[in-house]
């Protein structure tokens, strides 16, 4: 005889408080001006106390950071294995479009947030750092290295590519996202060209950099030999006389 389902066995467990807070902020941002949303409003919408909110986030901006990490996870859990043999630009195009797909349910909120933060340099700076952290994983998902001297250039370039593409996406109501994909393709080609020129410049200037490093190494050795020493042979610390 089949066991009857009980209320406790069929009840859906509530989402974790952290997730509820993130979703609450995005719901509020879809209908209200960003600067009018207070942390108390988010806590009320998420059905958590202010104390519980504080346990998870120090600010409204930190909730946005958690939203970005949530999107990272969705993209990284997706599959792009079928593009493993394709050029780097094609692999990154796929990753970027999967990110845009993950952002789609929050498009209205993101549009309003983006427009509101354009006049806030400090917020933009903080969001750029979150974007760099996200792009480190997006580029890794595309099989693109971010180590080495050009690593930061690649990260910042990828962040700018996505930001520029989102400007078109915000106004693209076509279900096929033709304008968005065309903008992304242009941005990726432009970024690819920039990286190629940067790599060429680095190769061309390698002898000069090696000569400069040798010069500074020589000066450092001379300075160590001419430093005043105490009776025990230790270099004297100028701050010790203060």
**Residue 194 pLDDT > 80:** no
By the 8 A CB rule, do 27 and 45 touch? Answer: yes
Q: Give 219's pLDDT tier (boundaries 50, 70, 90).
A: low
Nearest to 188 by CA among 77, 103, 94: 94
Q: What is the pLDDT of residues 48-61, one digit of tens each?
A: 999 999 999 999 99
- Count the residues in the chain: 242
Mean pLDDT, all residues of the chain: 83
- The SS3 assignment for 150 reads coil
**Residue 183 pLDDT > 60:** yes
In 3-state terms, the chain is what percent helix, strand and coil (to 5)? 75, 0, 25
Residue 110 is predicted with a pLDDT of 96
Q: What is the pLDDT of residues 93-145, one digit of tens each?
A: 999 999 999 999 999 999 999 999 988 888 888 889 999 999 999 999 999 99
Residue 127 is predicted with a pLDDT of 87
Cα–Cα distance measured from residue 219 to residue 222, given in angstroms and rounded to the nearest whole number: 5
Q: Give 9's pLDDT tier (boundaries 50, 70, 90).
A: very low
Q: What is the pLDDT of residues 57-102, one digit of tens each?
A: 999 999 999 999 999 999 999 876 777 778 889 999 999 999 999 9
- The SS3 assignment for 85 reads coil
By the 8 A CB rule, do 61 and 126 touch? Answer: yes
């Amino acid at each position: 005889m089949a066991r009857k389902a009980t209320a406790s066995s069929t009840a859906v467990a509530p989402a974790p408080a952290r997730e509820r807070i993130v979703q609450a902020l995005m719901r509020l941002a879809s209908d209200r001006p960003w600067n009018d949303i207070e942390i108390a409003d988010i806590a009320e919408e998420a059905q958590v106390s202010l104390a519980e909110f504080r346990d998870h986030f120090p600010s409204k901006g930190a909730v946005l950071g958690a939203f970005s990490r949530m999107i990272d996870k969705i993209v990284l859990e997706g599959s792009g294995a079928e593009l493993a043999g394709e050029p780097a630009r094609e692999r990154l195009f796929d990753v970027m479009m999967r990110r845009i797909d993950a952002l789609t349910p929050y498009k209205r909120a993101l549009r309003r947030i983006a427009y509101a933060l354009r006049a806030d340099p400090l917020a933009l700076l903080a969001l750029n750092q979150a974007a760099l952290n996200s792009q480190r994983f997006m580029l890794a998902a595309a099989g693109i290295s971010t180590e080495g001297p050009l690593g930061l250039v690649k990260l910042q370039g990828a962040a700018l590519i996505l930001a520029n593409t989102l400007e078109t996406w915000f106004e693209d109501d076509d279900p096929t996202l033709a304008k968005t994909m065309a903008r992304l393709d242009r941005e990726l080609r432009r970024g690819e060209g920039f990286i190629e020129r940067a790599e060429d410049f680095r190769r061309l200037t390698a002898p000069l950099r090696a000569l400069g490093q040798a010069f500074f190494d020589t000066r450092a050795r001379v300075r160590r030999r001419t430093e005043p020493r105490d009776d025990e042979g230790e270099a004297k610390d100028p701050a010790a006389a203060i």
